[in-house]
Amino acid sequence: MITVLINNPNRRTGIQKLVVKLINVDENGIWIEDQKLTDLALEDLGLAALPKVITVFYPFASIHAILANLPGFSLSESKFGV
């Protein structure tokens, strides 16, 4: 899972945080899977399930930041004298 900060003009701050599953990256943006978007689509369609996973494309121009947790340690450089 990754956290994506995107432009959203409908929010007071203009920025929305999404915790999503990264599906693919191409030269123009990222494809993500988001359970909240899936739930909204199912509700709008009046369905309990779909035969395919819903993925959403976000262009890089609308992304403020992508935060990811990678395996390994996070260390304070100053505490180790670096």
Whole-number Cα distances in Å, 11 to 7, 14, 44, 64, 65: 9, 5, 21, 14, 17
The pLDDT of residue 29: 93
β-bridge mates for residue 59, sequence order: 29
In the chain, how long is the greatest CA-to-CA distance? 58
Task: For 29-58, write each residue's pLDDT tens digit.
Answer: 999 998 887 888 888 889 998 888 888 898
The pLDDT of residue 62: 87
Q: Calculate the average pLDDT of the chain.
A: 84
Residue where the block lists tokens 């899977």: 33
SS3 40: helix
pLDDT-based confidence at 10, cuts 50/70/90?
Answer: low
Contacts of 23 (CB under 8 A, 6+ apart): 30, 31, 32, 33, 55
| Domains in the chain: boundaries | 2-68
